[in-house]
Amino acid sequence: MSPIFVTGGAGFIGSALIRLLMAESDYPVVNIDKLTYAGNLASLPGLLTEPMYVFSQTDICDRAALDRLFDQHNPAGVIHLAAESHVDRSIHGPGEFIQTNITGTYTLLEAARAYWSGLSGEARARFRFHHVSTDEVFGSLGETGLFTESHPYQPNSPYSASKAASDHLVRAWHHTYGFPTVMTNCSNNYGPCQFPEKLIPLMILNAVAGKPLPIYGKGDNVRDWLYVDDHARALRLVFEKGTLGETYNIGGHNEKTNLEVVDTLCALLDELKPQPDGRPYATQKTSVADRPGHDKRYAIDASKISHELGWTPTETFETGLRKTVQWYLDNPAWVAHVVSGDYRNWLTRNYGERT
Ligand SMILES: NC(=O)c1ccc[n+]([C@@H]2O[C@H](COP(=O)([O-])OP(=O)(O)OC[C@H]3O[C@@H](n4cnc5c(N)ncnc54)[C@H](O)[C@@H]3O)[C@@H](O)[C@H]2O)c1
């Protein structure tokens, strides 16, 4: 069976997708990841000896390397998640976001299109390129309303602007070249193996380390939270059954203010890992200056993927968050490697020194 290329498979969502594909499908997977600070192969335990899995440390901006991978593996399709993904980093240093999210997506599209152009028959008919994007491309909502697939693009951060640009490239490649694409725009994800710069793992780890829990401004920004395994299931479904040229919004129907998220986390930790002196974790909350240009509210209308493909999330915010807190408490080795930076030596430790 031809493999699927998953770009960014060592990241938070990509690793959840690969764990799902390995456990529940027959697809061989080629994981293409540059291993930036956000790439962590320890999130894919046990795959080293798995014959259905290949890892390639490759930058999606490297056209020659991508061409070699397409020639070598003859994939049935691509699910493209590789990106710079952290809004705060994009504010302090937008260059990498322009490079990976725009130039990288362009380079990957062109390599994939060249490969697809040389296919014929069934291989050509089944090939598809799935671009994974975010609801942040739509900008910010007021008190009411939801993002549908036809919502105007109004990206406000360098991150969301670079993702919006990549979405436009994918759309144009379909429209101009007939290149077989599908696209998904998902809300905020949470779950195991998320790099602890993002809100939920940051709060869990700071709380148990006795550190302050920094909350932007009044903590009243609203995000629509989705458990990462529900996103992975939706990605598989759209890759297999989505209509070419279409986009699908994915969301969890879980609108929460940042303050609600932190309060729920603190209550869960009070229950699952009470402090020796009985002090509630919520006493560690601290307000910090707001993020510049901070979008007020995101909320997804996921009715299209639900009606057309039958996807609905399996986790509620309460069940998903409980699983997430428990995972971080149960996996101190993963956390310690990330916090110490040791995870960056994972390849060398497991494969030896590479030239
Ligand atoms: N995290 C969310 O809440 C969320 C929500 C919706 C959409 N998304 C999108 O999903 C995708 C994955 O997000 P994530 O949270 O898993 O991100 P992440 O930052 O955890 O992982 C990104 C991965 O991409 C790799 N990468 C970065 N630059 C690369 C390059 N030039 N070449 C090859 N690999 C490279 C990194 O090493 C890392 O493994 C992104 O495209 C993001 O925009 C994320």
Location of structure tokens 């998902």 = 186
Mean pLDDT of all residues belonging to the chain? 94
14 lines ligand 1 (CB under 6 A): yes
d(CA 43, CA 13): 10
Q: For the residues 89-106, what does the mean pLDDT come to? A: 97
Q: Report how far apart, in Å, the C-alpha atoms of 246 and of each of 33, 128, 183, 227, 241 are.
A: 26, 12, 7, 23, 11
The pLDDT value given to residue 197 = 86
The pLDDT value given to residue 337 = 87
170 lines ligand 1 (CB under 6 A): no
Q: For the residues 241-253, what does the mean pLDDT come to? A: 96
Q: For the residues 76-94, what does the mean pLDDT come to? A: 96
Ligand 1, residues 5, 6, 7, 12: which to mutate, most atoms within 8 A of Cβ?
12
Q: For the residues 136-142, what does the mean pLDDT come to? A: 94
The percentage of the chain sitting over the pLDDT mark of 70, rounded to a whole number, equals 97
Q: What is the pTM of this model?
A: 0.95
Nearby residues of 245 by Cβ (< 8 Å), 6 or more positions away? 174, 175, 181, 182
Q: How confident is the model at residue 239 (pLDDT cuts 50, 70, 90)?
A: very high
Nearby residues of 309 by Cβ (< 8 Å), 6 or more positions away? 237, 238, 241, 242, 248
Catalytic residue list contains 24? no
Q: For the residues 2-23, what does the mean pLDDT come to? A: 98
Residue 103 burial (CB < 10 Å; 0-12/13-18/19+)?
middle
Q: For the residues 236-250, what does the mean pLDDT come to? A: 98
The pLDDT value given to residue 341 = 78
Say whether pLDDT at 342 is over 60: yes
